[in-house]
């Protein structure tokens, strides 16, 4: 049985001034590399991973389906940042190929993503067929990034199709009130710890799976907020608000770090020690967009709280500030891609925070710590180890995947 956590430990304490100072112990929190050099470094890393592409399915050898979507995300964001179309053909072909093969980007109709934080939940079910709402959102957000970079409305339509599909796995106020959701075969808990479960998103599509986690819900916040921004349609914005409230009120610890999983039937929880960069990172990204779309300061304030805590968390980094999570030189695992999601969320927040120079300075410094570690401790020419503290090693697709968002972000945050 998973540990139950008292609700009093979950509420975020707002209104306390965030510490946005850069720790003196961080290793090399700045770079003197020129813009042209940073662009060259990033594109060289892209050129090193593209030979691993399997063009008939839009995926990359050596990494999983969800991770492949994040390669496309990084490439599209790079083109957006520098105003380039260098990677457009590869990105659009990859996204279109996957969508044409798999309805709504659902590769198997039953998915296949297994992560450490969900291992307990999976272990109590038969794993032959477990549907995946989570993985669809990685591809859908990649489509949004590509739309922003290239203006391709066909890709935007992919994102909308996924949003429509996964919305059927969101706990609505009606479902919370009645205890029934059409896509689930069990009684859905209307509240947990006295807080409504409305806005939570189930991470698997099988009717008997009960897990609602922060990454799936955070992805829904982010996708909904982006679509709300693009279309100006309140249905997307309201969906983002409901899911943002679910995480805010139910799944953040007293240290402002986003937690992992809540059982949608009996309210049991994943262990409080299950702290992963991407839960905070994707929520940060969604909040930064939601704050801009709504003009509601509560989302910006919450985002500040989480950024200030997450970039200094001992759960995934040492006193030097270098992220240690997902260091796996010998084999791929899901954790390898988590820190890339974290950096991407920080980058999006940076671009939307021009009025907060202290926040931008903290994010820039944190990204530069990772950037310099990659280039000085973990590089082998234009390829990188997933262990950012080093040592360098021969090329691995997963190590390259993890590095891409850092290299792309450093182009933008140092201008």
Number of Cβ within a 10 Å radius of residue 320: 15
Q: How confident is the model at residue 121 (pLDDT cuts 50, 70, 90)?
A: very low
Q: How confident is the model at residue 134 (pLDDT cuts 50, 70, 90)?
A: confident
User: Which residues have a Cβ under 8 Å from the Cβ of 37 and sit 6 or more positions away?
Assistant: none
Instruction: Give the tens place of pLDDT for each residue, 38-64.
Output: 999 999 999 999 999 999 999 999 999
Q: Is residue 2 assigned to a domain?
A: no
Q: How confident is the model at residue 136 (pLDDT cuts 50, 70, 90)?
A: confident
Q: Is residue 38 assigned to a domain?
A: yes
Q: Is residue 180 assigned to a domain?
A: yes
Provide Rg for the chain, Cα atoms: 20
CA neighbor of 370 nearest in space, from 407, 341, 413: 407
State how far the Cα of 335 lies from the Cα of 164, in Å rounded to an integer.
28
Please report where in the chains the tokens 């997450």 appear, as a residue.
Answer: 310
What CATH number has the domain bearing residue 283? 1.50.10.20
Q: How confident is the model at residue 109 (pLDDT cuts 50, 70, 90)?
A: low
Give whole-number Cα distances, 363 to 22, 32, 301, 314, in Å: 9, 16, 16, 17
Mean pLDDT of 300-314: 98
Q: Which domain holds residue 402?
A: 7-413
Q: How far apart are the first and last CA of the chain?
A: 50
Torsion, CA 101, CA 106, CA 111, CA 112, rounded to 10 = 60
pLDDT higher than threshold 70 for residue 241: yes
State how far the Cα of 274 lies from the Cα of 256, in Å rounded to an integer.
14
Contact 91, 139 (CB under 8 A): no
Q: 61 — phi, psi (to 5°)?
A: -60, 135
Q: How confident is the model at residue 128 (pLDDT cuts 50, 70, 90)?
A: very low
Q: Is 379 helix (H, G, I), strand (E, B) or coil?
A: strand
Q: What's the domain count of the chain?
A: 1
Q: Is residue 1 assigned to a domain?
A: no
Q: Is residue 206 assigned to a domain?
A: yes
pLDDT higher than threshold 50 for residue 320: yes
Contact 387, 328 (CB under 8 A): yes
State how far the Cα of 180 lies from the Cα of 69, in Å rounded to an integer.
32
Q: Is residue 195 assigned to a domain?
A: yes
């Amino acid at each position: 049985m998973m540990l139950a956590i008292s609700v009093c430990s979950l509420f975020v304490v707002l209104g306390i001034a965030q510490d946005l100072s850069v720790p003196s112990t961080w290793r090399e929190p700045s770079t003197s590399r020129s813009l042209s050099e940073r662009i060259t470094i990033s594109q060289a890393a892209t050129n090193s991973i593209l030979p691993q592409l399997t063009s008939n399915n839009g995926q990359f050898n050596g990494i999983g389906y969800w991770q492949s979507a994040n390669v496309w995300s990084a490439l599209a964001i790079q083109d957006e940042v520098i105003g380039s179309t260098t990677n457009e053909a590869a990105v659009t072909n990859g996204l279109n190929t996957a969508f044409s093969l798999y309805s709504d980007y659902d590769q198997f109709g039953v998915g296949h993503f297994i992560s450490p934080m969900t291992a307990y939940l999976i272990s109590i079910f038969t794993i032959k067929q477990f549907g995946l709402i989570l993985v669809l959102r990685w591809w859908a957000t990649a489509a949004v990034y590509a739309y922003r970079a290239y203006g391709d409305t066909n890709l935007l339509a992919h994102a909308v199709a996924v949003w429509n599909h996964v919305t059927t796995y969101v706990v609505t106020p009606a479902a919370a009130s009645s205890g029934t959701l059409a896509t689930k075969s069990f009684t859905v808990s209307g509240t947990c710890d006295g807080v409504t479960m409305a806005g939570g998103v189930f991470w698997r599509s099988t009717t008997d799976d009960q897990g609602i986690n922060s990454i799936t819900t955070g992805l829904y916040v982010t996708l909904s907020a982006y679509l709300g921004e693009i279309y100006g349609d309140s249905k997307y914005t309201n969906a983002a608000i409901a899911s943002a409230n679910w995480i805010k009120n139910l799944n953040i610890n007293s240290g402002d770090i986003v937690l992992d999983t809540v059982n949608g039937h009996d309210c049991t929880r994943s262990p409080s020690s299950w702290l992963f960069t991407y839960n905070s990172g994707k929520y940060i990204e969604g909040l930064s967009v939601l704050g801009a779309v709504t003009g509601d300061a509560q989302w910006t304030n919450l985002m500040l709280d989480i950024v200030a805590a997450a970039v200094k968390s001992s759960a995934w980094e040492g006193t030097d500030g270098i992220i240690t999570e997902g260091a796996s030189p010998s084999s791929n695992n899901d954790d390898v891609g988590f820190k890339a999601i974290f950096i991407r969320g920080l980058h999006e927040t940076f671009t939307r925070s021009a009025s907060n120079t202290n926040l931008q300075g903290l994010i820039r410094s944190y990204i530069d710590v990772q950037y310099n570690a990659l280039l000085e401790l973990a590089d082998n020419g234009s390829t990188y180890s997933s262990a950012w503290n080093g040592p360098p090693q021969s090329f691995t697709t997963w190590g390259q995947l993890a590095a891409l968002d850092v290299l792309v972000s450093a182009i933008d945050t140092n201008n």
